[in-house]
Structure 1
Amino acid sequence: MCKHIFYVWEAWFVGDWMKKILLVDDNRTMLLFMEKVLSKRGFDVITANDGMHALQVLEERPDIQFVLSDWMMPEMDGIELCSRVKSANYGRYLFFMLLSGKDDKESIVSGINAGADDFVVKDTHVDELEARIQAGFRTLALHNEITAKNEALDAAYATMKKDLDSAGELLKRLLPTENTMSGVELSYESIPSAQIGGDMLGYMKLDEDHVAIYLLDVAGHGVSSALLSFSVQQSLSVNSGHSSIVKTTLDEPPYYRLNEPHEVLRRLNERYISNDQNLLYFTMVYAVLNIKTGRMDFSIAGHPPLVWMHSRLGDAELVGQESFVIGAFDFVEYETLYIQLEPGDKVWMYSDGITEAEKGDEMFSEEGFRKAVVEVNEQPTTLQTELLVNSVRKWQQAEQFDDDVSVLVVEWKGNPEREQLCDMKLSTKVNARFFK
C-alpha cells in the first residue's frame, strides 16, 4: 500500500503541476503582459483579477500550488490573500510570491509577516523573476516529497499499530480465565506498559493433586519481549510427552514424574540461552502446590521474592532466594525451596514493574508491596490484586506504570477431599435429624 501511494505521487510529481502558476492582478494590462512573458518561459499561467477570484480558482483547481499575486488590489489585496491561503486551516500548501511596485524594508517585512515565501518588485528583470519562480518550485517539490513520505510513514505506522493492537489482544487471551481450581482460589492483574508487554503469568493443573503457578518478566518491551514470553508460556503448557518441561515420562505407572521447580527453570535456561542474535533474558518464579497437603515447592530465577500471607498471624513475609536470570548464562544452577501453607494462607507473585513504581525519588519497594498485601487481606481474594494495583496507582499519583505490571495471588483453601468429606458428614447428620 505504501509503495502504491509513493508511485502515484511520483507520477503526479513529474507532471505538469511544476509549471502551473496562478497569476493575480487587478490591472488587466499588467495581467496580460505577465501572462505572455511567463507563458513564453514555459509556464502554464492561470489568471485571476482579484483576491476573491483567486480563492475561487484555487478552490476549483487543486493542482495549482504556486501563486504570484499583486499587492495592491480592490476587495482583497495580496496581503490578505496570502494570509488566507497560508493560514493553518487552509486545505493545502501553496508557495506564495508577492509582486509589488514598492521596494522598501517596511513592505518586505509586511509581506513576510503575512506568510509570503518570496517578494518581487515589478520592475525585476524577467530572467531573475524566472530564476526565483524556479527556486519556488524546487521548494514545492521538496515539500511534496516530504509530505508524500510522511503519508507513507503514517500509513505504515497505522498498519503496525493495528497489528500490535491485535497482538496485544491475542496475548491477553493466553491469560487464565478461571479464578478457582480444586482447593485453591486465584486472582491476577496483568497490565502492559505499551501495546504489548513482556510479562506473562499462568496456572495449570498438573494432576489430581498438584497445581503449577508461574510468573515471568522478559527484559525490555515490545515485539521481541512479547514473543519470548509467548514462547515460554507455550513451552510450559505442554503437559505430557517427551517434549514436556514440567513432567518427565516414565515407563511404569503413573508413567510420569513431576519435575521439581528448579528442573523446570534449568530446562528453560537450556532452551532459551542467549546468543549473538538473541540477547533477551527473563526473570521467573515457578511453583507447584499440592492442593491436598498445602505444601508449595518453588524456585526463583532472578525474580523478586514471594510474599507469604499467613492467615492465622494476619501478617506477611518475604520469601525468596538469590539466583540468576534465565537465558543469560549456561553455567547456572537453580534451587527448589518449599513452604508449608495453612488453610487460608496466600502466596503472592509479582513483577518488578509494581515494586519499582516511583513517586519522586521514592520507589514503592518490596516492603511496600508486603504491607499493601496485609492491608487488602480482609477483602475477597478475587478482588485483592485489583485493589492492590489501584493502591499503588494512588500512591504514585498516576494511572499509568512505566513498566509492565503483573500481580498474582493464590489462596490455599485446605484439602478439598477433607472439606468434601466434612460436607458429606454434615449433610448425613442433617438429613438424619430431618427424617427422625
Structure 2
Amino acid sequence: MPEILLVDDNRTMLLLLKTQLMKRGYRITTANDGAQALQILEAREDIQFVLSDWMMPGIDGIELCRRVKSAHYARYLFFVLLSGKDDQQSIIDGINAGADDFVVKDTHIDELVARIQAGFRTLALHNEITSKNTQLDKAYATIKKDLESAGDLLRRLLPQEKKLIGVELSYVSIPSAQIGGDMLGYMQLDEEHVAFYLLDVAGHGVSSALMSFSVQQSISVSSDKGAVVKTSIPEPPYYRLNAPHEVLARLNDLYLSGAENMLYFTMAYATLNVKTGQLAFAVAGHPPLVWLHSQTGEAEFIGQDSFVVGAFDFAEYETSYIQLEPGDKVWIYSDGITEAENGAMQFSEPRFKDLVVTLKDHPTAVQTELLVKRVREWQQADNFDDDISVMAVEWTGYPEGEQACNMRLSTKVSAQFYK
C-alpha cells in the first residue's frame, strides 16, 4: 500500500485529507509541522512521498522542501506543495525550492489523487533505475576486481631475469587499462640463439589481452605449439629454427580472423646468434626497429613494409639480417609511445630515435624506464591513451669458453609492468 507523509499545522485540514486519501487506498502518516516531518522521515526510510502545506510555523513547507531536496539529503523523495496561493510567483518559488508538484488547496480531491498517482509512477521509475544502477555498479566492481586480479597474475608470472650469456635486456610495458593488448618477451631457443619479440593487438581490453596471451603461448617453445618457432627434423639436433618470416606466417595461419571476429596484431620477431652477433628479424605491420651503433653512437631505423598478422590469408613476410657489434642495441616498441600526444603533436618515430641516442650513455638496465619517463614529461601527462611497450636488446659479445648458465627451453615472457 502506497505511503504518504501528510504535513499540515491545521488539524481539521490534516484530518480531512487523511480521511479522503485513506479511502482511496493510501496509508497516511501525519506531521503537524516541518520539524516533526523531518523527525519522521529520519526514522521512516520507507516513506518516499511528502504532501506538505506551505504556510506553517517554524519550518514551513518551502524550507522543508529545500532540506529534503538538497544534495546532502540521504534519499530521494517526491514532494508536493499544498498552498492557498495560486499566483505565478508562488508556483515559481515552490518549484525553485525543489518541489516536484504544486497543488492549490481547493483543488478537487480527484485531481489531487491523479497528481499523487503520477508522483508514485515517477517514484517507481526512479526506484527501478536506482536498483538497476546499483546492480550495474556491483557488476562493474566485480569486473574491475577480476581485471585487476588478472593484471596482477600476469605480472607475477613474468620472470625477472634480464641477462643471458651475450645479451642484456631492458623493457617496460604499461597497459592503458587493467590489462592491455601488448606483449613482449624473449626465449632461449638453444645454446646459440635467443628470440625476442613484441606484439600489439588491435584494440584494448579483455579480448585483446586474451589474444596477446594466446599468441605468447603459441610461440613459447615449451608449449604444444612449439612448431611455430621450431620444426622437427629426423637428424640431430632433431630440429631447425624457423626463420622470423616463417614464424610470422605460421602465426598468421593460426590467428586468421573471421568476419565476425576481426582481431589482428602487429609484431616484430627476431633471433640473435649470441656467439656471432647476427640478428635475423621480420616485421608484421609494426613500427620499424631502431638499431643503435655502439661505435658511432648513431641510430637508424630497420624494418619492412608488411601486413599485420591475422587479417589477410595472402600475407607474406620477409626476414632481414644485420650484423651487430658488441655493445650494439636493437630497440622494439609499440606505437602507443610514438603516438603519445601533446596537443596536436605526436611523439613520433624520429623523436623516439633521437631519444634513444640521447640515452645511450646510461646503463642498459634503466634506459627503457628513462625513455618512458621522458615521453611522459613531453606529453605533460602521466597516463597514456594506448598500451605502451618498449624493449632494448644489447648484444654484449660472447666470451670464449663461457657456458650459458640458463639453457632451459621453457623461458616465458619477460616483461616488466609499471602502473
TM-score, normalising length: structure 1: 0.90
2:39 alignment partner AA = Q
3-state DSSP class of the match of 1:417? coil
1:93 alignment partner AA = Y
2:197 alignment partner AA = Y
- Choose which of 216, 237, 260 in structure 1 pairs with 2:243: 260
- Choose which of 168, 189, 202 in structure 2 pairs with 1:219: 202
Match in the other structure for 1:416: 399
Match in the other structure for 2:49: 66
3-state DSSP class of the match of 1:338? strand
- Choose which of 377, 382, 386 in structure 2 pairs with 1:399: 382
The answer as to whether partners of 1:307 and 1:318 remain within 8 angstroms in 2 is: yes
Match in the other structure for 2:407: none
Matched, 1:208 2:191: yes
d(CA) in 1 for partners of 2:254 and 2:399? 36
Match in the other structure for 1:150: 133
Matched, 1:191 2:170: no
1:19-418 equivalence runs, <5 A: 19-239=2-222, 243-417=226-400
3-state DSSP class of the match of 1:263? helix
1:160 alignment partner AA = I
Instruction: Report the alpha carbon displacement of residue 244 of structure 1 after superposing the two structures with TM.
Output: 2.5
d(CA) in 2 for partners of 1:179 and 1:86? 61
Higher deviation after alignment, 366-375 or 174-183: 174-183
d(CA) in 2 for partners of 1:103 and 1:416? 98
Instruction: Report the alpha carbon displacement of residue 249 of structure 1 after superposing the two structures with TM.
Output: 1.3
Instruction: Report the alpha carbon displacement of residue 277 of structure 1 after superposing the two structures with TM.
Output: 2.4
2:379 alignment partner AA = Q
3-state DSSP class of the match of 1:156? helix
2:68 alignment partner AA = V
Instruction: Report the alpha carbon displacement of residue 172 of structure 1 after superposing the two structures with TM.
Output: 2.9
d(CA) in 2 for partners of 1:154 and 1:75? 41
Cα deviations by residue, 1:414-433 (Å, 9 ceiling, x for unpaired):
1133578xxxxxxxxxxxxx
d(CA) in 1 for partners of 2:104 and 2:257? 69
3-state DSSP class of the match of 1:72? coil
d(CA) in 1 for partners of 2:136 and 2:72? 23
Structure 2 CA distance for partners of 1:34 and 1:242, relative to 1, 3 Å:
closer
1:266 alignment partner AA = A
Unpaired stretches in structure 1, ≥5 consecutive residues:
1-15, 421-436
Structure 2 CA distance for partners of 1:332 and 1:71, relative to 1, 3 Å:
same
Instruction: Report the alpha carbon displacement of residue 235 of structure 1 after superposing the two structures with TM.
Output: 0.5
The answer as to whether partners of 2:218 and 2:225 remain within 8 angstroms in 1 is: no
The answer as to whether partners of 2:220 and 2:226 remain within 8 angstroms in 1 is: no
Query: Percent same amino acid at aligned positions?
Result: 72
**Pairs aligned (count):** 403
d(CA) in 1 for partners of 2:224 and 2:43? 72
Cα deviations by residue, 1:303-352 (Å, 9 ceiling, x for unpaired):
11111111111111111111111111111221111111111111100011
The answer as to whether partners of 2:217 and 2:223 remain within 8 angstroms in 1 is: no
The answer as to whether partners of 1:175 and 1:202 remain within 8 angstroms in 2 is: no
Instruction: Report the alpha carbon displacement of residue 238 of structure 1 after superposing the two structures with TM.
Output: 2.8
The answer as to whether partners of 1:217 and 1:284 remain within 8 angstroms in 2 is: yes
d(CA) in 2 for partners of 1:203 and 1:20? 68
Instruction: Report the alpha carbon displacement of residue 242 of structure 1 after superposing the two structures with TM.
Output: 7.0
The two structures, once aligned, show a CA RMSD in angstroms of: 1.4
Instruction: Report the alpha carbon displacement of residue 53 of structure 1 after superposing the two structures with TM.
Output: 0.3
The answer as to whether partners of 1:206 and 1:239 remain within 8 angstroms in 2 is: no
1:349 alignment partner AA = I
The answer as to whether partners of 1:291 and 1:416 remain within 8 angstroms in 2 is: no
Task: Report which structure shows greater RCO (CA 8 Å, sep ≥6).
Answer: 2
d(CA) in 2 for partners of 1:241 and 1:208? 21
d(CA) in 1 for partners of 2:147 and 2:225? 34
Higher deviation after alignment, 264-273 or 176-185: 176-185
2:55 alignment partner AA = M
The answer as to whether partners of 2:229 and 2:247 remain within 8 angstroms in 1 is: yes
1:382 alignment partner AA = A
Instruction: Report the alpha carbon displacement of residue 106 of structure 1 after superposing the two structures with TM.
Output: 1.5
d(CA) in 2 for partners of 1:242 and 1:350? 25
2:116 alignment partner AA = I
Structure 2 CA distance for partners of 1:335 and 1:109, relative to 1, 3 Å:
same
TM-score, normalising length: structure 2: 0.93
- The structure richer in helix per residue is 1
Match in the other structure for 1:433: none
1:86 alignment partner AA = K
